[in-house]
Amino acid sequence: MVGPPGTGKTLLARAVAGEAGVPFFSISGSEFIEMFVGVGAARVRDLFEKARQAAPAIIFIDELDALGRARGAFVAGGGHDECEQTLNQLLAKLDGFDPTQGVVLLAATNRPEILDPALLRAGRFDRQILVDRPDKIGRAQILGVHIKKIHLDPGISIEEVAELTTGFNGADLANLVNEAALLATRRNADSVTAEDFSRAIERIVAGLEKKNRLLNPREKEIVAHHEMGHALVALSLPGTDKVHKVSIIPRGIGSLGYTIQRPTEDRYLMTREEFANKVGVLLGGRAAERLVFDKLSTGAADDLAKATDIARSMATRYGMEDALGNVAYETDRAPLLGTIEWQTYLERQFSEETAREIDEAVKATNTTRRPTIVSMRAT
């Protein structure tokens, strides 16, 4: 089972064992590795022997990437013979598996791209099941399980809460219900309301309030106009996510204010125009500071980083710049999990001239939305 963290891979394996009603042997991949040579291989042999004696049984190896990392992939940083010896013993046991003995082997990882190819060949872990983040229906069903532990207000709609939690995994949803229950308890309420869920989402997305971080009046004014710039641009541009809340209360590590936008539906494709509008929303706060105060502050640092990330992806990964052609200059090394690792100078497969054109395309994308913001000032 492969998928992002928190999607329920380990929980699914336990559910399989519970439904099957057979002994369940669970171990983490890191528990095989020790500093003493031969201990890991011996533990593999012992685990398989115990499973055979208790057959029918299920063996579950969590965090398989700790044990099954590709051999020889990191020789430059120093090898580890014990890790390879343990992996070789596991491969040998998988080859010697007799399907008539009634032992089923399950494993879970959130880093399938670093596994040894020998583990994934036919006859070993030849079936890969993607346990991805749930869709709207799945989120509503997961919330329905967790809300049984709390007293819910009759007027609340689980479907509406599920709409506001796009991108949440199973662990996030369990945490959401817990946070909402804590907020209701702090105000001595008899039941958890929709407002509690809204505040809980706010705490999870934006972080905890920093009540000891006091802003002076001038900083409050700048932050207020900055966040209002985000909100006004988001409301004026088509195809942007709905503005959920605007606040100038400091939260998280470095945030002095925030504008929360929550999508109300699951999206799997985005057009160039939608990307450009998203960049426009990110730069709306900086534009508002320039228009109102004729000065720029450091408050847009995170917005600039996100906008640059989007603009670079448009140019290098999605082929959305006509001048660069239909070419992918950077590729995603872990497509299953959606993580992005930018290429280093030595891994780059394009010329300095192309690199300059990419930089120019990124700059152009981050400046095309300014006329829209300026026109808003007149309205």
Tokens of 24: 């369940």
Q: Which whole-number Å values give the CA distances from 234 to 206, 269, 277, 345, 370, in the listed order?
A: 18, 19, 8, 36, 13
Residues 6+ apart with CB under 8 A from 16: 58, 106
Q: How far apart are CA 143 and CA 165, in angstroms?
A: 10
How many residues make up the chain in this entry? 379
**Which structure tokens are listed for 33?**
């590795």
Do residues 285 and 230 touch, judged by C-beta distance below 8 A? yes
d(CA 319, CA 262): 27
Residue type, 179: E
Q: Which residue is catalytic, options 227, 289, 321, 357?
A: 227
Is 209 in the active site? no
**Cα gap 365→369, rounded to integer Å:** 8
Q: Which helix (H) or strand (E) holds 104?
A: strand 103-107
Orientation of helix 301-316 relative to helix 272-293, angle to 10°: 150
- State which amino acid sits at residue 2: V
What are 149's two structure tokens?
A: 């532990």
- Beta-carbon contacts of 75 under 8 Å, excluding residues fewer than 6 positions away, are none
Alpha helices in the chain (DSSP H): 9-20, 39-53, 81-95, 136-146, 158-163, 170-186, 194-206, 217-236, 272-293, 301-316, 352-365, 370-378
Which residue bears the tokens 């380990």?
10
* Residues involved in catalysis: 227
